[in-house]
Chains A and B, each alone.
Chain A
Amino acid sequence: MARHLSFTGFAWKNLRRRRLRTLLTLVGITMGIGAFVALVGFSRAFEHEWMRLYTSSGTDIAVVETNFMNTSLDESIGHQIGAVPDVAVAVPMIFNLLDLTPDVNALVYGWRADSYELDSLILLSGRRFRDGQPEVILGKNLADDLKKRSGDSLPIQGTNFTVTGVFHGGTALEEGAVIMPLDQLQTISSMQGKVTAFHVRLRPVPAGEAYDRYVKRAEAEIEAAVPGVHADPAADRAANNQLVALAHSVAWGTSSIALLIGILGIANTMAMSVFERTREIGILRALGWKGRHVILLILTEAAALGLAGGFLGIAAGWTALLVLSAMPQTASIVSASVAPLHLAESLLIAIAAGLVAGAYPAWRAARLSPVEALRYE
Protein backbone atom coordinates (compact mmCIF):
# COMPACT_ATOMS: atom_id res chain seq x y z
CA MET A 1 0.00 0.00 0.00
CA ALA A 2 1.13 3.52 -0.67
CA ARG A 3 2.82 5.46 2.11
CA HIS A 4 0.91 8.31 3.70
CA LEU A 5 2.21 11.78 3.38
CA SER A 6 1.62 13.81 6.54
CA PHE A 7 2.35 17.43 7.30
CA THR A 8 5.25 16.43 9.49
CA GLY A 9 6.51 13.98 6.88
CA PHE A 10 6.47 16.74 4.29
CA ALA A 11 8.29 19.09 6.67
CA TRP A 12 10.89 16.40 7.33
CA LYS A 13 11.53 15.90 3.63
CA ASN A 14 12.00 19.63 3.19
CA LEU A 15 14.57 19.71 5.99
CA ARG A 16 16.45 16.72 4.60
CA ARG A 17 16.82 18.37 1.25
CA ARG A 18 19.56 20.70 2.51
CA ARG A 19 21.31 18.42 4.91
CA LEU A 20 24.41 20.48 5.51
CA ARG A 21 22.43 23.63 6.16
CA THR A 22 20.02 21.78 8.44
CA LEU A 23 22.98 20.30 10.31
CA LEU A 24 24.69 23.65 10.76
CA THR A 25 21.44 25.14 11.99
CA LEU A 26 21.17 22.30 14.47
CA VAL A 27 24.67 22.98 15.77
CA GLY A 28 23.60 26.53 16.62
CA ILE A 29 20.43 25.67 18.48
CA THR A 30 22.12 22.67 20.11
CA MET A 31 24.72 24.98 21.59
CA GLY A 32 22.03 27.32 22.88
CA ILE A 33 20.05 24.56 24.55
CA GLY A 34 23.24 22.85 25.70
CA ALA A 35 24.36 26.05 27.40
CA PHE A 36 20.96 26.38 29.02
CA VAL A 37 20.96 22.81 30.30
CA ALA A 38 24.52 22.98 31.60
CA LEU A 39 24.72 26.50 32.98
CA VAL A 40 21.24 26.96 34.34
CA GLY A 41 21.31 23.35 35.58
CA PHE A 42 24.57 24.11 37.30
CA SER A 43 23.35 27.34 38.91
CA ARG A 44 20.21 25.62 40.14
CA ALA A 45 22.15 22.70 41.57
CA PHE A 46 24.34 25.28 43.23
CA GLU A 47 21.35 26.99 44.79
CA HIS A 48 19.94 23.65 45.85
CA GLU A 49 23.19 22.68 47.56
CA TRP A 50 23.22 26.02 49.26
CA MET A 51 19.73 25.50 50.54
CA ARG A 52 20.63 22.08 51.87
CA LEU A 53 23.49 23.68 53.67
CA TYR A 54 20.95 25.45 55.84
CA THR A 55 18.40 22.71 56.10
CA SER A 56 20.89 19.96 56.92
CA SER A 57 22.17 21.87 59.93
CA GLY A 58 18.70 22.85 61.10
CA THR A 59 18.97 26.60 60.56
CA ASP A 60 15.54 28.23 60.38
CA ILE A 61 16.46 31.86 59.84
CA ALA A 62 19.54 33.73 58.65
CA VAL A 63 20.02 37.23 60.00
CA VAL A 64 22.01 39.60 57.74
CA GLU A 65 22.69 43.27 57.25
CA THR A 66 19.81 45.19 55.64
CA ASN A 67 22.11 47.12 53.40
CA PHE A 68 23.09 44.91 50.51
CA MET A 69 26.41 46.70 49.97
CA ASN A 70 27.52 46.29 53.56
CA THR A 71 27.86 42.58 54.07
CA SER A 72 28.85 42.47 57.70
CA LEU A 73 27.15 42.72 61.07
CA ASP A 74 28.56 43.40 64.52
CA GLU A 75 29.20 40.19 66.35
CA SER A 76 27.97 41.90 69.53
CA ILE A 77 24.33 41.94 68.41
CA GLY A 78 24.26 38.16 68.85
CA HIS A 79 22.90 38.40 72.39
CA GLN A 80 20.10 40.73 71.23
CA ILE A 81 19.00 38.14 68.68
CA GLY A 82 19.37 35.38 71.22
CA ALA A 83 17.10 37.28 73.58
CA VAL A 84 14.14 37.17 71.18
CA PRO A 85 11.64 34.78 72.84
CA ASP A 86 11.20 32.31 69.97
CA VAL A 87 14.92 32.07 69.23
CA ALA A 88 16.52 28.97 70.68
CA VAL A 89 20.06 29.84 69.60
CA ALA A 90 21.77 32.34 67.30
CA VAL A 91 25.29 31.56 66.13
CA PRO A 92 27.57 34.02 64.34
CA MET A 93 29.36 32.95 61.19
CA ILE A 94 31.46 34.25 58.33
CA PHE A 95 31.70 32.75 54.92
CA ASN A 96 34.12 33.73 52.29
CA LEU A 97 35.62 32.43 49.07
CA LEU A 98 39.41 32.25 49.38
CA ASP A 99 42.28 31.10 47.18
CA LEU A 100 44.00 28.23 48.94
CA THR A 101 46.43 27.44 46.13
CA PRO A 102 46.61 28.96 42.65
CA ASP A 103 44.31 26.16 41.39
CA VAL A 104 41.98 25.63 44.27
CA ASN A 105 39.69 28.18 45.76
CA ALA A 106 37.27 27.10 48.39
CA LEU A 107 34.46 28.26 50.57
CA VAL A 108 35.81 29.12 53.96
CA TYR A 109 33.52 29.17 56.98
CA GLY A 110 34.25 30.72 60.30
CA TRP A 111 32.23 29.15 63.09
CA ARG A 112 32.58 29.09 66.86
CA ALA A 113 33.76 25.73 68.09
CA ASP A 114 30.49 25.28 69.98
CA SER A 115 28.24 26.14 67.00
CA TYR A 116 25.39 23.72 66.47
CA GLU A 117 26.28 23.71 62.76
CA LEU A 118 29.26 21.51 63.49
CA ASP A 119 26.92 18.82 64.79
CA SER A 120 25.66 18.00 61.30
CA LEU A 121 29.17 17.14 60.08
CA ILE A 122 30.62 13.67 60.44
CA LEU A 123 34.30 13.67 61.39
CA LEU A 124 36.09 11.03 59.34
CA SER A 125 39.40 11.52 61.12
CA GLY A 126 41.00 13.76 63.76
CA ARG A 127 39.06 16.19 65.93
CA ARG A 128 37.29 19.54 65.76
CA PHE A 129 39.17 22.83 65.87
CA ARG A 130 39.39 24.93 69.03
CA ASP A 131 38.49 28.62 69.25
CA GLY A 132 41.49 30.91 69.28
CA GLN A 133 43.79 28.38 67.61
CA PRO A 134 45.08 28.35 64.00
CA GLU A 135 43.22 25.14 63.30
CA VAL A 136 40.93 24.05 60.46
CA ILE A 137 38.86 21.08 59.49
CA LEU A 138 38.52 20.18 55.80
CA GLY A 139 35.68 18.68 53.81
CA LYS A 140 36.51 15.29 52.33
CA ASN A 141 36.63 16.44 48.69
CA LEU A 142 38.81 19.42 49.47
CA ALA A 143 41.17 17.32 51.62
CA ASP A 144 41.52 14.90 48.70
CA ASP A 145 42.17 17.72 46.23
CA LEU A 146 44.77 19.30 48.50
CA LYS A 147 46.15 15.88 49.51
CA LYS A 148 45.93 16.89 53.17
CA ARG A 149 45.26 14.67 56.16
CA SER A 150 44.70 15.32 59.84
CA GLY A 151 47.89 16.68 61.36
CA ASP A 152 49.15 18.30 58.14
CA SER A 153 49.67 22.03 58.00
CA LEU A 154 47.91 24.31 55.51
CA PRO A 155 48.90 27.92 54.83
CA ILE A 156 45.92 30.24 54.28
CA GLN A 157 46.46 33.96 53.56
CA GLY A 158 49.92 33.82 55.08
CA THR A 159 48.96 32.06 58.31
CA ASN A 160 49.94 28.46 58.96
CA PHE A 161 46.93 26.43 60.00
CA THR A 162 46.91 22.88 61.29
CA VAL A 163 44.40 20.47 59.80
CA THR A 164 42.85 18.93 62.87
CA GLY A 165 40.21 16.86 61.14
CA VAL A 166 38.57 15.80 57.88
CA PHE A 167 34.81 15.64 57.75
CA HIS A 168 32.03 14.38 55.61
CA GLY A 169 29.47 17.14 55.08
CA GLY A 170 25.81 16.93 54.32
CA THR A 171 26.19 18.79 51.03
CA ALA A 172 28.63 19.07 48.16
CA LEU A 173 29.36 22.64 49.25
CA GLU A 174 30.49 21.51 52.66
CA GLU A 175 32.46 18.64 51.17
CA GLY A 176 34.57 21.24 49.42
CA ALA A 177 34.82 23.70 52.31
CA VAL A 178 37.31 24.75 54.96
CA ILE A 179 35.92 25.45 58.43
CA MET A 180 37.95 27.37 61.01
CA PRO A 181 37.32 29.24 64.25
CA LEU A 182 35.34 32.42 63.71
CA ASP A 183 38.02 34.52 65.41
CA GLN A 184 40.72 33.16 63.08
CA LEU A 185 38.72 33.99 59.96
CA GLN A 186 37.96 37.46 61.36
CA THR A 187 41.68 37.99 61.77
CA ILE A 188 42.84 36.80 58.35
CA SER A 189 40.07 38.66 56.55
CA SER A 190 40.37 41.84 58.67
CA MET A 191 36.83 41.55 59.98
CA GLN A 192 37.55 41.85 63.70
CA GLY A 193 34.28 41.94 65.58
CA LYS A 194 32.29 41.47 62.39
CA VAL A 195 30.32 38.53 61.04
CA THR A 196 28.56 37.75 57.77
CA ALA A 197 25.39 36.42 59.35
CA PHE A 198 23.79 34.87 62.39
CA HIS A 199 22.19 31.52 61.86
CA VAL A 200 19.15 31.05 64.03
CA ARG A 201 17.45 27.95 65.26
CA LEU A 202 13.98 28.56 66.61
CA ARG A 203 12.32 26.91 69.56
CA PRO A 204 9.93 24.08 68.66
CA VAL A 205 6.93 25.23 66.65
CA PRO A 206 4.06 26.02 69.04
CA ALA A 207 1.20 23.53 68.79
CA GLY A 208 -1.39 24.59 66.25
CA GLU A 209 0.86 27.03 64.34
CA ALA A 210 2.11 26.28 60.83
CA TYR A 211 5.91 26.26 60.42
CA ASP A 212 5.92 28.95 57.72
CA ARG A 213 3.78 31.30 59.81
CA TYR A 214 5.92 30.66 62.82
CA VAL A 215 9.08 31.54 60.89
CA LYS A 216 7.47 34.71 59.53
CA ARG A 217 6.46 35.79 63.00
CA ALA A 218 9.92 35.08 64.37
CA GLU A 219 11.50 37.09 61.56
CA ALA A 220 9.34 40.08 62.44
CA GLU A 221 10.28 39.72 66.11
CA ILE A 222 14.00 39.65 65.28
CA GLU A 223 13.80 42.62 62.94
CA ALA A 224 11.87 44.57 65.59
CA ALA A 225 14.31 43.68 68.34
CA VAL A 226 17.48 44.44 66.39
CA PRO A 227 17.34 47.56 64.19
CA GLY A 228 19.15 47.46 60.86
CA VAL A 229 19.07 43.72 60.30
CA HIS A 230 17.21 41.58 57.88
CA ALA A 231 15.88 38.15 58.86
CA ASP A 232 15.37 35.68 56.03
CA PRO A 233 13.94 32.21 56.04
CA ALA A 234 16.90 29.91 55.46
CA ALA A 235 15.43 28.66 52.19
CA ASP A 236 15.10 32.16 50.71
CA ARG A 237 18.51 33.04 51.97
CA ALA A 238 19.92 30.39 49.63
CA ALA A 239 18.22 31.99 46.67
CA ASN A 240 19.25 35.52 47.68
CA ASN A 241 22.80 34.54 48.38
CA GLN A 242 25.16 36.70 46.33
CA LEU A 243 27.11 33.77 44.97
CA VAL A 244 23.92 32.01 43.96
CA ALA A 245 22.57 35.19 42.41
CA LEU A 246 25.81 35.64 40.51
CA ALA A 247 25.71 32.04 39.30
CA HIS A 248 22.12 32.50 38.16
CA SER A 249 22.78 35.68 36.27
CA VAL A 250 25.90 34.36 34.56
CA ALA A 251 24.04 31.18 33.63
CA TRP A 252 20.95 32.94 32.30
CA GLY A 253 22.97 35.65 30.59
CA THR A 254 25.28 33.27 28.80
CA SER A 255 22.63 30.81 27.78
CA SER A 256 20.30 33.59 26.60
CA ILE A 257 23.00 34.80 24.25
CA ALA A 258 23.68 31.27 23.05
CA LEU A 259 19.95 30.71 22.57
CA LEU A 260 19.58 33.96 20.68
CA ILE A 261 22.32 32.88 18.30
CA GLY A 262 20.55 29.55 17.85
CA ILE A 263 17.25 31.30 17.17
CA LEU A 264 18.85 33.62 14.62
CA GLY A 265 20.35 30.55 12.94
CA ILE A 266 16.94 28.91 12.57
CA ALA A 267 15.36 32.17 11.44
CA ASN A 268 18.03 32.64 8.78
CA THR A 269 17.70 29.06 7.56
CA MET A 270 13.92 29.25 7.37
CA ALA A 271 14.03 32.61 5.59
CA MET A 272 16.43 31.19 2.99
CA SER A 273 14.37 28.07 2.66
CA VAL A 274 11.16 30.05 2.09
CA PHE A 275 12.94 32.17 -0.50
CA GLU A 276 14.24 29.12 -2.37
CA ARG A 277 10.83 27.51 -2.31
CA THR A 278 8.87 30.51 -3.54
CA ARG A 279 7.63 28.63 -6.62
CA GLU A 280 6.73 25.56 -4.55
CA ILE A 281 4.72 27.69 -2.18
CA GLY A 282 2.88 29.06 -5.24
CA ILE A 283 2.18 25.48 -6.36
CA LEU A 284 0.79 24.57 -2.94
CA ARG A 285 -1.44 27.63 -3.05
CA ALA A 286 -2.64 26.65 -6.55
CA LEU A 287 -3.53 23.24 -5.10
CA GLY A 288 -5.79 24.97 -2.59
CA TRP A 289 -3.50 25.34 0.39
CA LYS A 290 -4.60 28.25 2.51
CA GLY A 291 -2.12 30.75 3.91
CA ARG A 292 -2.44 29.08 7.29
CA HIS A 293 -1.43 25.71 5.85
CA VAL A 294 1.75 27.29 4.53
CA ILE A 295 2.34 28.88 7.94
CA LEU A 296 1.78 25.51 9.59
CA LEU A 297 4.30 23.85 7.27
CA ILE A 298 7.03 26.43 7.86
CA LEU A 299 6.42 26.49 11.61
CA THR A 300 6.49 22.70 11.72
CA GLU A 301 9.88 22.74 10.03
CA ALA A 302 11.20 25.42 12.38
CA ALA A 303 9.81 23.71 15.47
CA ALA A 304 11.32 20.41 14.31
CA LEU A 305 14.70 22.10 14.09
CA GLY A 306 14.16 23.48 17.59
CA LEU A 307 13.07 20.14 18.99
CA ALA A 308 15.98 18.25 17.42
CA GLY A 309 18.34 20.94 18.74
CA GLY A 310 16.64 20.50 22.11
CA PHE A 311 17.40 16.79 22.29
CA LEU A 312 20.96 17.26 21.06
CA GLY A 313 21.43 20.21 23.41
CA ILE A 314 20.25 18.17 26.38
CA ALA A 315 22.75 15.47 25.47
CA ALA A 316 25.51 18.07 25.11
CA GLY A 317 24.60 19.97 28.28
CA TRP A 318 24.30 16.83 30.32
CA THR A 319 27.66 15.63 29.08
CA ALA A 320 29.17 18.97 30.10
CA LEU A 321 27.70 18.60 33.60
CA LEU A 322 29.10 15.07 33.85
CA VAL A 323 32.54 16.32 32.86
CA LEU A 324 32.36 19.24 35.32
CA SER A 325 31.24 16.99 38.14
CA ALA A 326 34.24 14.75 37.49
CA MET A 327 36.78 17.58 37.50
CA PRO A 328 38.46 18.30 40.86
CA GLN A 329 38.05 22.08 40.59
CA THR A 330 34.31 21.91 40.18
CA ALA A 331 33.29 18.53 41.56
CA SER A 332 32.36 19.97 44.93
CA ILE A 333 29.64 22.21 43.56
CA VAL A 334 28.44 20.44 40.41
CA SER A 335 26.21 17.45 40.66
CA ALA A 336 25.77 15.34 37.55
CA SER A 337 22.05 14.93 38.04
CA VAL A 338 19.62 17.05 36.04
CA ALA A 339 16.08 17.56 37.25
CA PRO A 340 13.45 16.11 34.91
CA LEU A 341 11.62 19.41 35.11
CA HIS A 342 14.73 21.20 33.85
CA LEU A 343 14.86 18.83 30.87
CA ALA A 344 11.20 19.36 30.09
CA GLU A 345 11.74 23.10 30.36
CA SER A 346 14.73 22.88 27.99
CA LEU A 347 12.65 21.03 25.40
CA LEU A 348 9.86 23.58 25.69
CA ILE A 349 12.34 26.42 25.26
CA ALA A 350 13.82 24.62 22.25
CA ILE A 351 10.42 24.26 20.57
CA ALA A 352 9.50 27.83 21.45
CA ALA A 353 12.82 28.99 19.99
CA GLY A 354 11.96 27.21 16.73
CA LEU A 355 8.49 28.76 16.62
CA VAL A 356 9.78 32.25 17.36
CA ALA A 357 12.46 31.85 14.70
CA GLY A 358 9.99 30.48 12.15
CA ALA A 359 7.28 33.07 12.76
CA TYR A 360 8.49 35.79 10.43
CA PRO A 361 9.54 33.51 7.53
CA ALA A 362 6.21 31.68 7.84
CA TRP A 363 4.28 34.91 7.74
CA ARG A 364 6.24 36.03 4.68
CA ALA A 365 5.58 32.72 2.97
CA ALA A 366 1.87 32.94 3.61
CA ARG A 367 1.70 36.47 2.27
CA LEU A 368 3.22 35.60 -1.10
CA SER A 369 0.72 36.09 -3.88
CA PRO A 370 0.05 32.68 -5.43
CA VAL A 371 0.42 34.00 -8.98
CA GLU A 372 3.64 35.89 -8.28
CA ALA A 373 5.04 32.85 -6.51
CA LEU A 374 4.19 30.60 -9.47
CA ARG A 375 5.83 32.97 -11.95
CA TYR A 376 8.96 33.14 -9.76
CA GLU A 377 12.03 31.71 -11.52
Chain B
Amino acid sequence: MSSPLLEARGLVKSYDDGRIAALRGVDVRIEAGEYVTISGPSGSGKSTLLHMLGGLDLPTRGEVLFRGSPLGSAVDLDTYRSRQVGFIFQAFYLLPTLCAAENVQVAMLAMNERANHRAERAAALLEEMGLKDRMRHYPNELSAGERQRVAIARALANDPAILLADEPTGNLDTANTAHIMEILRGIREQRGMTLVIVTHEKEIASSAPRHIRIRDGRIEA
Protein backbone atom coordinates (compact mmCIF):
# COMPACT_ATOMS: atom_id res chain seq x y z
CA MET B 1 0.00 0.00 0.00
CA SER B 2 1.36 3.46 -0.92
CA SER B 3 1.88 6.14 1.75
CA PRO B 4 -0.86 8.69 2.31
CA LEU B 5 -0.14 12.37 1.70
CA LEU B 6 -0.01 13.08 5.44
CA GLU B 7 0.15 10.69 8.30
CA ALA B 8 0.39 11.44 12.02
CA ARG B 9 1.63 8.59 14.21
CA GLY B 10 1.25 8.64 17.96
CA LEU B 11 1.44 12.45 18.19
CA VAL B 12 2.04 13.72 21.71
CA LYS B 13 2.59 17.41 22.34
CA SER B 14 3.15 18.75 25.81
CA TYR B 15 3.99 22.25 26.98
CA ASP B 16 5.58 23.65 30.10
CA ASP B 17 7.77 20.59 30.74
CA GLY B 18 4.86 18.21 30.42
CA ARG B 19 2.47 20.04 32.74
CA ILE B 20 0.16 20.77 29.79
CA ALA B 21 -0.66 17.94 27.41
CA ALA B 22 -2.14 19.46 24.24
CA LEU B 23 -2.09 16.19 22.29
CA ARG B 24 -2.10 12.79 23.98
CA GLY B 25 -1.49 10.33 21.18
CA VAL B 26 -3.12 11.19 17.88
CA ASP B 27 -3.06 9.02 14.75
CA VAL B 28 -4.48 10.40 11.50
CA ARG B 29 -4.09 9.59 7.83
CA ILE B 30 -5.05 12.14 5.23
CA GLU B 31 -5.06 11.17 1.56
CA ALA B 32 -4.12 13.52 -1.28
CA GLY B 33 -7.09 15.63 -2.33
CA GLU B 34 -9.12 14.81 0.76
CA TYR B 35 -11.38 17.34 2.49
CA VAL B 36 -11.32 16.92 6.27
CA THR B 37 -12.82 19.00 9.06
CA ILE B 38 -11.68 18.90 12.66
CA SER B 39 -13.85 20.08 15.54
CA GLY B 40 -13.82 19.89 19.29
CA PRO B 41 -14.09 22.02 22.41
CA SER B 42 -11.86 24.98 22.96
CA GLY B 43 -8.46 23.90 24.26
CA SER B 44 -8.86 20.34 23.00
CA GLY B 45 -5.74 20.53 20.82
CA LYS B 46 -7.14 21.34 17.38
CA SER B 47 -4.72 24.17 16.62
CA THR B 48 -1.83 22.18 18.02
CA LEU B 49 -2.66 19.27 15.70
CA LEU B 50 -2.89 21.63 12.73
CA HIS B 51 0.47 23.17 13.61
CA MET B 52 2.09 19.72 13.75
CA LEU B 53 0.53 18.73 10.41
CA GLY B 54 1.75 21.99 8.89
CA GLY B 55 5.31 21.68 10.16
CA LEU B 56 5.16 24.78 12.36
CA ASP B 57 6.42 22.78 15.30
CA LEU B 58 7.60 19.28 16.10
CA PRO B 59 5.68 16.91 18.38
CA THR B 60 7.08 15.93 21.77
CA ARG B 61 6.66 12.30 20.73
CA GLY B 62 5.46 10.56 17.59
CA GLU B 63 5.92 11.83 14.06
CA VAL B 64 4.25 13.34 11.05
CA LEU B 65 5.02 11.77 7.67
CA PHE B 66 4.63 13.68 4.42
CA ARG B 67 4.38 11.20 1.53
CA GLY B 68 6.01 8.67 3.82
CA SER B 69 8.95 10.87 4.94
CA PRO B 70 9.13 12.18 8.52
CA LEU B 71 8.92 15.94 8.98
CA GLY B 72 11.86 17.53 10.74
CA SER B 73 14.33 14.86 9.72
CA ALA B 74 13.89 13.67 6.13
CA VAL B 75 11.83 16.76 5.30
CA ASP B 76 13.07 20.23 6.31
CA LEU B 77 10.27 22.08 8.13
CA ASP B 78 10.84 25.49 6.52
CA THR B 79 10.98 24.02 3.05
CA TYR B 80 7.91 21.89 3.74
CA ARG B 81 5.93 24.94 4.91
CA SER B 82 6.98 27.09 1.99
CA ARG B 83 6.36 24.55 -0.77
CA GLN B 84 3.68 22.17 0.46
CA VAL B 85 1.56 24.03 2.99
CA GLY B 86 -0.73 27.06 2.90
CA PHE B 87 -1.94 28.31 6.29
CA ILE B 88 -5.14 30.27 6.84
CA PHE B 89 -5.84 31.72 10.29
CA GLN B 90 -8.90 32.98 12.12
CA ALA B 91 -7.37 36.45 12.65
CA PHE B 92 -6.13 36.62 9.03
CA TYR B 93 -2.61 37.59 10.12
CA LEU B 94 -1.97 39.99 7.26
CA LEU B 95 1.04 42.28 7.63
CA PRO B 96 -0.29 45.79 8.33
CA THR B 97 2.49 47.65 6.51
CA LEU B 98 1.89 45.85 3.23
CA CYS B 99 -0.96 46.29 0.74
CA ALA B 100 -2.98 43.27 -0.43
CA ALA B 101 -0.72 42.54 -3.41
CA GLU B 102 2.40 42.78 -1.24
CA ASN B 103 0.91 40.56 1.43
CA VAL B 104 0.55 37.84 -1.17
CA GLN B 105 4.04 38.45 -2.56
CA VAL B 106 5.66 38.24 0.84
CA ALA B 107 4.97 34.48 0.87
CA MET B 108 6.99 34.16 -2.35
CA LEU B 109 9.93 36.30 -1.17
CA ALA B 110 11.60 33.34 0.47
CA MET B 111 11.39 31.34 -2.77
CA ASN B 112 13.71 31.85 -5.70
CA GLU B 113 10.98 33.40 -7.81
CA ARG B 114 11.62 36.26 -10.21
CA ALA B 115 10.24 39.58 -8.93
CA ASN B 116 8.06 40.03 -12.03
CA HIS B 117 6.63 36.60 -11.67
CA ARG B 118 5.83 37.20 -7.99
CA ALA B 119 3.89 40.35 -8.76
CA GLU B 120 2.00 38.76 -11.65
CA ARG B 121 1.08 35.69 -9.65
CA ALA B 122 -0.11 37.78 -6.70
CA ALA B 123 -2.27 39.86 -9.04
CA ALA B 124 -3.76 36.76 -10.67
CA LEU B 125 -4.58 35.16 -7.31
CA LEU B 126 -6.20 38.32 -5.96
CA GLU B 127 -8.24 38.61 -9.12
CA GLU B 128 -9.35 35.03 -8.65
CA MET B 129 -10.46 36.00 -5.12
CA GLY B 130 -12.52 38.84 -6.59
CA LEU B 131 -10.14 41.50 -5.25
CA LYS B 132 -8.92 42.99 -8.53
CA ASP B 133 -9.76 46.52 -7.37
CA ARG B 134 -8.42 46.01 -3.85
CA MET B 135 -4.80 45.11 -4.66
CA ARG B 136 -3.33 48.40 -3.45
CA HIS B 137 -5.49 48.51 -0.33
CA TYR B 138 -3.92 48.02 3.06
CA PRO B 139 -5.45 45.53 5.54
CA ASN B 140 -7.07 48.32 7.58
CA GLU B 141 -8.84 49.49 4.41
CA LEU B 142 -10.38 46.06 3.78
CA SER B 143 -13.46 44.35 5.25
CA ALA B 144 -13.03 41.17 7.30
CA GLY B 145 -14.19 39.01 4.39
CA GLU B 146 -11.79 40.76 2.02
CA ARG B 147 -8.91 40.28 4.43
CA GLN B 148 -9.56 36.57 4.64
CA ARG B 149 -9.64 36.38 0.84
CA VAL B 150 -6.23 38.12 0.71
CA ALA B 151 -4.99 35.56 3.25
CA ILE B 152 -6.32 32.72 1.06
CA ALA B 153 -4.56 34.19 -1.98
CA ARG B 154 -1.39 34.34 0.12
CA ALA B 155 -1.81 30.70 1.20
CA LEU B 156 -2.04 29.71 -2.47
CA ALA B 157 0.99 31.77 -3.50
CA ASN B 158 3.46 28.91 -3.63
CA ASP B 159 0.92 26.43 -5.02
CA PRO B 160 0.94 24.13 -1.96
CA ALA B 161 -0.35 20.56 -1.83
CA ILE B 162 -2.18 21.14 1.45
CA LEU B 163 -4.36 23.98 2.76
CA LEU B 164 -4.65 24.12 6.55
CA ALA B 165 -7.30 26.53 7.86
CA ASP B 166 -7.67 27.24 11.59
CA GLU B 167 -11.22 28.53 12.20
CA PRO B 168 -11.12 30.51 8.95
CA THR B 169 -14.63 31.88 9.43
CA GLY B 170 -14.38 32.52 13.18
CA ASN B 171 -14.24 36.30 12.69
CA LEU B 172 -16.78 36.49 9.86
CA ASP B 173 -20.53 37.09 9.60
CA THR B 174 -22.86 34.52 8.00
CA ALA B 175 -22.69 35.90 4.47
CA ASN B 176 -18.89 36.08 4.49
CA THR B 177 -18.67 32.65 6.10
CA ALA B 178 -20.64 31.16 3.23
CA HIS B 179 -18.51 33.02 0.69
CA ILE B 180 -15.20 31.90 2.21
CA MET B 181 -16.37 28.27 2.47
CA GLU B 182 -17.46 28.36 -1.15
CA ILE B 183 -14.03 29.67 -2.16
CA LEU B 184 -12.17 27.03 -0.11
CA ARG B 185 -14.21 24.15 -1.50
CA GLY B 186 -13.84 25.60 -5.01
CA ILE B 187 -10.08 25.72 -4.65
CA ARG B 188 -9.98 22.11 -3.55
CA GLU B 189 -12.12 20.95 -6.45
CA GLN B 190 -10.31 22.96 -9.11
CA ARG B 191 -6.77 22.38 -7.92
CA GLY B 192 -7.12 19.00 -6.27
CA MET B 193 -5.60 20.35 -3.08
CA THR B 194 -5.94 18.63 0.25
CA LEU B 195 -8.06 20.75 2.58
CA VAL B 196 -8.10 20.52 6.37
CA ILE B 197 -10.37 22.93 8.23
CA VAL B 198 -10.55 23.34 12.00
CA THR B 199 -13.95 24.69 12.94
CA HIS B 200 -16.45 24.77 15.76
CA GLU B 201 -19.38 25.46 13.44
CA LYS B 202 -21.46 22.29 13.06
CA GLU B 203 -22.62 23.20 9.60
CA ILE B 204 -19.08 23.52 8.31
CA ALA B 205 -17.89 20.45 10.21
CA SER B 206 -20.56 18.31 8.62
CA SER B 207 -20.05 19.72 5.12
CA ALA B 208 -16.95 17.57 4.67
CA PRO B 209 -16.94 13.91 3.63
CA ARG B 210 -14.79 13.22 6.68
CA HIS B 211 -15.13 14.87 10.05
CA ILE B 212 -12.68 14.31 12.93
CA ARG B 213 -13.73 15.09 16.52
CA ILE B 214 -11.07 15.81 19.06
CA ARG B 215 -11.37 16.03 22.83
CA ASP B 216 -8.67 16.42 25.47
CA GLY B 217 -5.93 15.87 22.94
CA ARG B 218 -7.39 12.62 21.62
CA ILE B 219 -9.42 11.75 18.58
CA GLU B 220 -12.93 10.58 19.49
CA ALA B 221 -14.08 7.44 17.84
Contact = CB atoms under 8 A, between A and B. Distances in A.
Given A370-B57, A371-B57, A5 B98 contact: yes
Contacts of A285: 56, 78, 81
Contacts of A283: 93, 95
Interface in B33-59: 51, 54, 56-57
A290 to B, nearest CB: 4
A289 B82 contact: yes
A289 B115 contact: no
Contacts of A2: 101, 119-120, 122-123, 135
Contact of B107 (A16, A279, A288, A291): A288
A190 B81 CA distance: 83
Contacts of B56: 285-286, 370-371, 374
Contacts of B97: 13-14, 16-17
Contact of A288 (B79, B95, B123): B79
A280 B106 CA distance: 11
A371 B77 CA distance: 13
A374 B88 CA distance: 12
A3 B158 CA distance: 18
A287 B105 contact: no
A13 B98 contact: yes
A4 B116 contact: yes
Contacts, number: 89
Contact of A4 (B51, B78, B81, B115): B115
Interface string B105-118: 11101110001101
A249 interface: no
Interface string A1-44: 11111110010011011000000000000000000000000000
| Interface residue tally on A, bucketed by range | 20 to 34
Contacts of A13: 97-98
B87 interface: yes
A374 B57 CA distance: 11
Interface string B154-175: 1001100000000000000000
Given A288-B81, A371-B56, A1 B119 contact: yes
B214 to A, nearest CB: 18
Contacts of B102: 3, 5, 10
Interface string A226-253: 0000000000000000000000000000
A148 interface: no
A17 B95 CA distance: 12
Nearest to B48: A371
B83 interface: yes
B118 A4 contact: yes
A291 B110 CA distance: 10
Nearest to B81: A288
Given A2-B122, A288-B83, A293 B98 contact: no
Contacts of B123: 1-2
A117 B83 CA distance: 77
A163 B97 CA distance: 71
A6 B93 CA distance: 20
Given A286-B87, A288-B82, A288-B158, A4 B107 contact: no
A285 B81 CA distance: 8
A5 B106 contact: yes
A10 B98 contact: yes
A234 B135 CA distance: 69
Interface in A66-102: none
A292 to B, nearest CB: 9
Interface in A254-272: none
B39 to A, nearest CB: 21
Given A5-B105, A370-B57, A291 B95 contact: no
Given A6-B115, A287-B110, A369-B57, 16 more contacts: A1-B119, A2-B119, A2-B120, A3-B101, A5-B105, A10-B98, A14-B97, A284-B106, A286-B93, A287-B82, A287-B154, A288-B82, A288-B158, A289-B78, A290-B79, A374-B56
22 contacts: A2-B101, A2-B119, A5-B101, A5-B118, A10-B106, A13-B97, A283-B93, A284-B106, A285-B56, A285-B78, A285-B81, A287-B81, A287-B154, A287-B157, A288-B85, A289-B109, A289-B110, A290-B79, A293-B110, A370-B57, A371-B56, A374-B89
